[in-house]
A and B are shown apart, each in its own frame.
Chain A
Amino acid sequence: MSGSDQGRGSDVLEVQDRARFEQLVLPHLDAAFNLARWLLRNRADSEDVAQEAMLRACRFFRGFHGGDARAWLLQIVRNTCYTWLEKNRPVELMSEFDEELHQQPSVSPETLAIAGDNRERLTRALETLPPRFREVLVLREFEGCSYKEIASITAIPIGTVMSALARARQRLQRALTHSSPQEATREL
């Protein structure tokens, strides 16, 4: 962090707040990093952004009055990631968030199982999804978040979490089965 950041970060936590922060928020550092890594798609940027998000969490901690600390932190991480993306990779955020569920032939579980067993291919397929699809999948499948938590983290109405997940999973299936790894890379 730069010197100015340290200046901004000074004296924001009282001693007892620090203890609470370590108890409630710090245990979710893995979750914070994992979400950043999947939103930004590389580890170095994710480390910087996750660090910035933790600093913001420190600053806002007085405003946290109990409840779901993980969801509270992930909301900050997500916002920090989007701010970073807007500044550094605005093109990525312009990908359309299509509301249509495409008609597509059913993929057999066996076909998917084979495609999904390839770790590289699964990673690329996830990374080709627009961030807004990627984040609901990461929160649901990696983080095990409930719909309520996903709604509060991503600021989408709880009633639309189910359809957002439906679209995201459909896109992931398509990316896994309809494109070879090479094509998936080119789409980036």
Chain B
Amino acid sequence: MSCDSTRTVLHGYLDGELDATRAAEFERHLENCRECAVALGAEESLRSSLQRSGLYENAPVSLRKKVRADLDAATASSVALRIPAWRWLALAAALLIVASVSWYAWPRVQNSASSAPFTAAELIDAHVRSLQPGHLTDVVSSDQHTVKPWFNGKLAFVPPVKDFTDEGFALIGGRLDVLGGQNVAALVYARRKHVINVFVLPTKEPDTPIHPPGLRQGYQWRHWRYQGMEYCAISDVADSDLYELAQLLYQ
């Protein structure tokens, strides 16, 4: 092995990129070549200087913020996210007025025989809140086996978590939410460019069929009870889509 080629091979050796045969060959060479031994020592010293130098520069917070903002602007379903802050305030104020004026007058989500333990206003609030930046998911995953265990120990019940990507409803994550004063699981599905929240909470009431759709402020929902769980799916998608997802969950 000539020393010239060794000058190059030395770097492969230093970087741990030689196969076992070539590495052994180089080690044998190293025993007899003082020049290479010195050169290797110098390279190791240089490497440790570089790695100890603290010259690695992390991304500044300002960049992180700008990238987040770009991502919000670039995300298809985030039409709501692009509403400027003052409009959010106006919307919040409007909701507050409506809520305070008609709190008791607002109907429960369904008629009394099958009423859900939360109002339509609370349901819409929870859905709208979830669409604000950073609120949609606590655990991001399309894997039901990741989302399901995530809820362990966070709720007093185990929500059924299923992914329906093949059916056109991709599970994108889950989060904890509060609905009607109760802790609930929220499963988040994507339908084309829309977000669907499915709220799940335990109930002692008997099963019901999937109730007819509710509609308010452009949002639609479907509510039902199945095997000790109360479900409510809400979104701005067409009701036929919501019904399809409800049927998938109702089995």
Q: A residues within 8 Å of B by Cβ?
A: 1, 6, 9-16, 18-23, 26, 29-30, 32-34, 37-38, 43, 47, 50-51, 54-55, 58-59, 101, 106-110, 112-113, 115-117, 119, 122-123, 126, 137, 140-142, 146-147, 162-163, 165-166, 169, 172-173, 176
Determine which of A16, A30, A123, A140 lies in contact with B55 in the assembled complex, contact meaning CB atoms within 8 Å. Answer: A123
**Is chain A's binding surface mostly helix, strand, loop or mixed?**
helix
Instruction: Let me know if A173 and B46 touch, CB within 8 A.
Output: yes
Contacts of B73 in A (CB 8 A): 6, 9-10
Instruction: Let me know if B45 and A109 touch, CB within 8 A.
Output: yes
Contacts of B45 in A (CB 8 A): 109-110, 112-113, 116
Identify which of B6-14, B105-113, B114-122 touches chain A.
B6-14
Instruction: Let me know if A113 and B63 touch, CB within 8 A.
Output: no
Instruction: Let me know if B63 and A33 touch, CB within 8 A.
Output: yes
* A101, B60: Cα distance in complex, Å: 38
Determine which of A112, A119, A166 lies in contact with B53 in the assembled complex, contact meaning CB atoms within 8 Å. Answer: A119
Interface string of B201-238 (1 = CB under 8 A from A): 00000000000000000000000000000000000000
Determine which of B38, B55, B63, B141 lies in contact with A106 in the assembled complex, contact meaning CB atoms within 8 Å. Answer: B38
Instruction: Let me know if B77 and A14 touch, CB within 8 A.
Output: yes
Identify which of B64-72, B84-92, B149-157 touches chain A.
B64-72
Instruction: Let me know if B49 and A113 touch, CB within 8 A.
Output: yes
Instruction: Let me know if B49 and A122 touch, CB within 8 A.
Output: yes
Contacts of A109 in B (CB 8 A): 38, 41-42, 44-45
- The verdict on A29 contacting B70 (CB below 8 Å), with A37-B57, A141-B51 known, is no
Instruction: Let me know if A21 and B71 touch, CB within 8 A.
Output: yes
Determine which of B58, B140, B170 lies in contact with A22 in the assembled complex, contact meaning CB atoms within 8 Å. Answer: B140
CB distance from B149 to the nearest CB of A (A): 17
CB distance from B243 to the nearest CB of A (A): 20
Determine which of A101, A106, A142, A166 lies in contact with B56 in the assembled complex, contact meaning CB atoms within 8 Å. Answer: A142
Instruction: Let me know if B70 and A1 touch, CB within 8 A.
Output: yes
Instruction: Let me know if A43 and B57 touch, CB within 8 A.
Output: yes
Apart from A14-B190, A16-B170, A147-B15, 16 more pairs, CB < 8 Å: A1-B66, A9-B73, A12-B74, A14-B77, A14-B192, A16-B142, A18-B78, A19-B141, A21-B71, A29-B63, A108-B42, A109-B45, A110-B45, A123-B53, A141-B47, A165-B11
6 closest pairs, A vs B, by CB? A116-B49, A33-B59, A109-B41, A15-B190, A109-B45, A141-B50
Contacts of A38 in B (CB 8 A): 57
Instruction: Let me know if B42 and A140 touch, CB within 8 A.
Output: no
* A140, B66: Cα distance in complex, Å: 28
Is B35 an interface residue, CB under 8 A from the partner? Answer: yes
CB distance from A128 to the nearest CB of B (A): 14
CB distance from A156 to the nearest CB of B (A): 14
- The verdict on A15 contacting B59 (CB below 8 Å), with A1-B70, A113-B45, A122-B49 known, is no
Contacts of B44 in A (CB 8 A): 109
Is B32 an interface residue, CB under 8 A from the partner? Answer: no
Determine which of A108, A165, A169 lies in contact with B38 in the assembled complex, contact meaning CB atoms within 8 Å. Answer: A108
Contacts of B62 in A (CB 8 A): 47
Contacts of A34 in B (CB 8 A): 56-59
CB distance from B5 to the nearest CB of A (A): 10
- The verdict on A166 contacting B71 (CB below 8 Å), with A33-B63, A109-B45, A119-B54 known, is no
* A38, B53: Cα distance in complex, Å: 14
Contacts of A101 in B (CB 8 A): 4, 7-8
- The verdict on A122 contacting B55 (CB below 8 Å), with A19-B172, A47-B62, A162-B12 known, is yes
- The verdict on A126 contacting B77 (CB below 8 Å), with A18-B71, A47-B60 known, is no
Contacts of A10 in B (CB 8 A): 73-74
A-B contact pairs, 7 of them (CB 8 A): A1-B70, A15-B194, A37-B57, A47-B66, A55-B70, A117-B49, A166-B7
